[in-house]
Chain A
Amino acid sequence: MKLKFQWLGLSRAIHPAGNKHTANQSIVPLTGFKEVSIPLDMQVGPGCKPTVAKGDHVNIGDKIGEPLGPWSVPVHASVSGKVTKIEKQILSDGGKAEYVTIESDGKNTVSEALAPPVVTDKESFLKAVRDAGLVGLGGAAFPTHIKLNPPPDKNVDTLIVNAAECEPYITTDHRIALDYADDVIYGALVTAHWCGIDTVIIGTEDNKKDAARSLEEAVKRAKEGECNAFWPKNGVTAKVLPTSYPTGAEKVLIALLTDRVVPEGGLPADVGVIVQNITTLCVLAQNLKTGMPLVKKAITLDGGAVKKPGNYEVPIGAPIRDVIECAGGTVSEPAKIIMGGPMMGVAVDDITRPILKNNNAILIFDEKEAKLPKESACISCGRCLRACPMRLQPMKLDKAARAINPNELEELHVMNCIECGSCTYVCPAKRYLVQNIRNGKAYVRAEAQAAKENAKKGDSN
C-alpha cells in the first residue's frame, strides 16, 4: 500500500519513526519536588494575575491566579507550601509572564475547599470547565471553555475525541486511553450532553489498537452503566485511522473522520465539530468527580539522554531539571530539551524551565540527536508539496517568506499552514521551511496590522 502510493507520488502524510518506547509504561506519579515555579500564562489568550502574596501558605488546588479576561482560565497551586517569590520571567515561548514560586512543605496537603462542581445546565458546566483551569492538553493550550462555547450561529453536532497522538515519542494519551478509559468516556459524554452534541466520534491510530479497544470497552460500559443518562442521540463511534503524521492535527482529524473540511481561517465549529483531546476530557471528568483542578500533568520523558524513559505525573511548575532527577537522571549531557513532541515541540533554552499545563512530553536529546543538518538549495523535488496535509506549496511559501513578500504569501494562503513541520521533515535539502513560513505568517499579520492602523489614521484625519 505504502509502496503503491510512493510510486504514484500520492502520499499525503509522512511516517516518522514512532519511537513510542514508553507505551508499555503506566503513568507513575513523581513527588518530592522542593520548589515549583508556576507561570500565570500557560494558554492561548491573556493569562492571570496573582491572587496570592509572598509569604502566603497555599494547598494543592488553591487558586493562585485570577483570570485577566474572558478567555483566561485560573491557575492553581500544584504543591502545598509557602509562596516565596512572585516575579516576571521569560516564558519558554519567548513571551513574559508572572511566575509564582512555591516552596513545598513536603506534605502535599490538598485544599479543603475543593468540592465537585454542581452542574445543572450548559452555563454551569462551562463555568466548571473554566474553574478547573482547563486548556487543550494535546499541546495547543486553547482555553477549553471557549472551545466548548462556539458562537450561537454555529450548529455543532459532532464531538471528536482526539486520541490519535501522532507525534513520535509521546505515549501519555495512549496510557490515558488504557488506564483511564472510563474517565475519558465520561468526560466525552458529559461534554456532549451539556453542549447539546448528538454524535461522538473517537479517533485513534492503528499503532495503538489496544487503546482503541480499551476506549470501545469503556463506551460499552458507559452505555450500560450510570452514564447512560448522558448517552448522545446518535451514539458513540470509535474509528481507528492508519498511523501517519499529522493525523491528530485538528483540521486533518476532522477531514479524516467526518469528510468535512474546515474553511481557511475558520474554526472546527464552522463545520459543526468540536475536537477535544482525550487527556483534557480525562482531567475534566476527574474534576467533575472530585473538584480537583488541573494541577498535575502526565508527561512522557524520553530521548537519548534519559536514563529511565517513561510516563510520569508531575506537578505543574516543576522545573524540568528536577523532573529528570526524580525520574532517574540522564545517561549523557543533555544537548537539547524539547517541550512536546519532536515535530511541533519547543526547544527550551534553560533546564530549569517549569512544566506547563499543555506539556505532554519532555524530550532530552543527546548530542547526536540534537545535531542539525545543514541547509542547501531547494531542488524543487516536490516532497514538501506532497507531504503538506493542508495542500499548500511549502517551497514557494519558503521563497516568498525569505523575500519578505506579504502579498505573495497571502496569495499562497500562508495563514492556512498548521505548522505541523511535515514539509521540513521530508526536505532533502534540509531547508527550514516551516520556520520561514511562520515568519511569513508574522509578515502577513504585521501588514494587516499596519493597514488597520493606516485606516484608523485616515478616519481621524
Chain B
Amino acid sequence: MLHVSASPHIRDNVTTQRIMLHVIIALLPTVIASGFIFGLRAPMLFAISAAACAGFEALSRIAMKREQTVGDLSAIVTGLLLAASLPAETPIWIVLIGAFMAVVFVKQMFGGLGSNFANPAVTARIILSVSFAGPLSKFSALPRYAATVTPGIAFDQVATSGADLVSSATPLGVLNNPIPGTQVPSTMDLFLGRHAGCIGEVCILAILIGGLYLLITGVIDIWAPLAYIGSTVAFVAQLGKDPVVHLFSGALMLAAFFMVTDYVTTPATIVGKITFGVGAGILTGLLRIFSAMPEGVSYAILLMNILTPHIERWTAPITLGAKKKTRKQQS
C-alpha cells in the first residue's frame, strides 16, 4: 500500500505546540522573578491560573464535543499571561473566574485557538478589573521592595502588622496621582521590578530576557514591540512626562513582547504589525495620561484587536506582478 498525498511531501518541524512551548519558556524568567519580588504566592498564582486555563480548555472541548486541543499548550500561555497582570494578593477565586472568562468566553466560544478576535488574557483582565475593582487595585510587594516606593508607610506597616506583603502604590499610580511622601522608584528599581505592581509586569529584566528568547527562536519579530514601545514612549515624552518611568512601569513591556506579538489577534503583515504597535502605543499613552486609570495597556490592546482585521486588509501585501485593477474594480 502506497501513501498518496498532495505536495509538498516534507514539512518544517515547527508546530503550534512548539511555538507555545517557546512562549511558556520565555515567561519562566518572569515567573521566577515574581517569586523573589512578591514571595511564593506569586508563582503559585501563575501555576493556578495556568492549570485553571488548561482545565477549562479541556472541559469546554469535551462539553462542545470537539477535538481535544489542550495539548497545543495555548491555554497555559493564556493562564500565565492572565496571572502576570494580577496583583500578588488576588484571591484565588478571582483568578479562577478570570481563567474561565479567558478560555471559555473569549476563546472557546468564538471557536477556540485561532478564531478568537480578542486576546483572552487581556480581555479577562479587563473583565476582572472592572468587576473586582477593589481587590485588584490593592498592589503590594515584599516589604523590602514596597519600601522603595513609599518608604514611610511601608516600614510602619511592617512594624505593626508583620504581614508577608505590604500594600504600596505602584509607580504609575504615584505618577498619576501624587501622594505627599511617596516617590517614584529609581530607574534601577523599576528595571529590576523592586516595587509594587502586577506579578508579571514589574521585572523588566525578566521580560526582556523572555523577549530576547522569542526573537532568537524566531517566534516573534521585532516590529510590533519596537513600534509599540517606541510610540508609547515618544507620545508620553511629547506630553512632558518622564519616558523612562513610563517605559519601565506598568504592563508596557510585558504587553510589547507577549501581547502585541500575539499571532491570532494582531496583523500578520510587517506593515500591519507596525500599524498595530503604533496605534496601541498612542492609545496606551492617551489612557495613561488622560483617563482616570493609571494604566491603559489592556484597553489599548483590546481596541487594536478589534481593528486587526481592518489593518490586515489595509496592509495586505501586493502580489508579485499584480495587475493594477482587480476584476471588481473594472466592472
Contact = CB atoms under 8 A, between A and B. Distances in A.
Interface in A385-411: 385, 389-393, 395, 407, 410-411
A391 B72 CA distance: 29
11 contacts: A8-B222, A16-B10, A336-B9, A347-B4, A347-B6, A370-B3, A376-B16, A390-B319, A392-B317, A411-B326, A434-B6
B89 to A, nearest CB: 34
A263 B321 contact: yes
Interface stretch (A155-163, A171-179, A422-430, A452-460): A422-430
A373 interface: yes
Contact of B218 (A6, A336, A372): A6
Contacts of B223: 8-9
B14 A426 contact: yes
Contacts of A407: 328
B6 A255 contact: no
B263 A424 contact: no
A261 B321 CA distance: 6
Interface string B247-273: 000000000000000011000111001
Contacts of A130: none
Contacts of A255: 320
Interface stretch (B30-38, B108-116, B161-169, B234-242): B108-116
Interface of A: 3, 6-10, 14, 16-17, 168, 251, 255, 261-266, 334-338, 342-351, 363, 365, 369-370, 372-373, 376-383, 385, 389-393, 395, 407, 410-411, 413, 416, 419, 421, 424-430, 432, 434-435, 438
Contact of B322 (A264, A335, A350): A264
Given A264-B323, A410-B326, 18 more contacts: A9-B270, A335-B3, A342-B8, A347-B5, A347-B9, A350-B2, A377-B114, A380-B264, A395-B268, A410-B327, A411-B326, A416-B319, A424-B11, A427-B11, A427-B12, A428-B12, A429-B15, A434-B8
A369 B9 CA distance: 9
A370 B10 CA distance: 9
Given A334-B2, A342-B8, A347-B4, A7 B221 contact: yes
A411 B5 contact: no
Nearest to A391: B317
Given A251-B321, A377-B114, A425-B11, A372 B3 contact: yes
A168 B323 contact: no
Closest 8 CB pairs of A and B: A382-B268, A9-B221, A421-B8, A377-B114, A435-B6, A336-B3, A381-B263, A263-B321
Given A379-B113, A410-B327, A416 B322 contact: yes
Contacts of B59: none
A428 B7 CA distance: 16
B322 A349 contact: no
B269 A385 contact: yes
Contacts of B320: 251, 255, 261-262, 264, 389-391, 416
Interface in B219-243: 221-223
A346 B10 CA distance: 12
B69 interface: yes
Nearest to A336: B3
B interface, by DSSP: helix, strand, loop or mixed?
Answer: loop
B214 to A, nearest CB: 10
A336 B270 CA distance: 38
Contacts of A266: 321
A349 B4 contact: yes
Contacts of A251: 320-321
A10 B3 contact: no
B19 interface: yes
B310 interface: no
Most buried by B among A346, A376, A429: A376
Contacts of B221: 6-9
B2 A348 contact: yes
Nearest to B221: A9
Contacts of A7: 215, 218, 221-222
Contacts of B264: 379-380
B114 A380 contact: yes
Contacts of A426: 12, 14
A411 B318 CA distance: 11
A349 B11 CA distance: 21
A154 B218 CA distance: 44
B112 A379 contact: no
A349 B2 CA distance: 6
Given A261-B321, A389-B320, A391-B317, A438 B6 contact: yes
A379 B16 contact: yes
B56 to A, nearest CB: 18
A430 B15 contact: yes
Contacts of B319: 264, 390-392, 413, 416
